[in-house]
Amino acid sequence: MMCPGCGREIGTRKGAMTHHGVTPNSSDICIMSGRKAPIEGTSPTAMVRRAQLVCELACELRDYDPRDVWDYLTCLPAVEIQRMLVIALAAVDVDKSLGELFAWVINDLGRAA
């Protein structure tokens, strides 16, 4: 597959991109090394895999480093981000208040101030 981060042809293993450098024999590791390979297609199976990825990214965003999620999403084609966004929006509980839904963001902003 073509790595969306560096444009190199790389392999995958268990759904993740193999570890690789930005250029052949490079010590500069691509930001997509070891990350989940982008999901292709719009079949029901692909959409379920996307939903799983959206959940994994949400956990990573909240529990680890949001910059890693940012880097991952920045490398994806716009159409893939759109597919993932539609899935993420469908999961929003619209019966909850903005404060309930985004307390983690509001609390983080308060700590950063």
Q: Does residue 83 contact residue 50 with C-beta atoms inside 8 Å? A: yes
DSSP 41-63: --SHHHHHHHHHHHHHHHHHHHH
Strands (E), 1-113: 12-13, 16-17
The pTM is what? 0.79
| Per-residue pLDDT tens over the stretch 12-52 | 998 899 999 998 887 899 989 999 888 889 999 999 999 99
Q: What is the pLDDT of residues 47-103, one digit of tens each?
A: 999 999 999 999 998 888 889 999 999 999 999 999 999 999 999 999 999 888 888
Q: What average pLDDT does the segment 96-113 reach?
A: 73
**What per-residue confidence (pLDDT) applies to 49?**
93
Q: Could you tell me the residue ranges of all domains in the chain?
A: 1-37, 41-112
Asked if residue 4 lies in contact with residue 38, where contact means CB atoms within 8 angstroms, the answer is yes
Beta bridge partners of 12: 17
From residue 104, give the alpha-carbon distance in Å to each of 53, 70, 73: 20, 17, 20
44-63 vs 78-90: helix axis angle to the nearest 10? 80
pLDDT of residue 108: 60
For residue 26, the SS3 value is coil
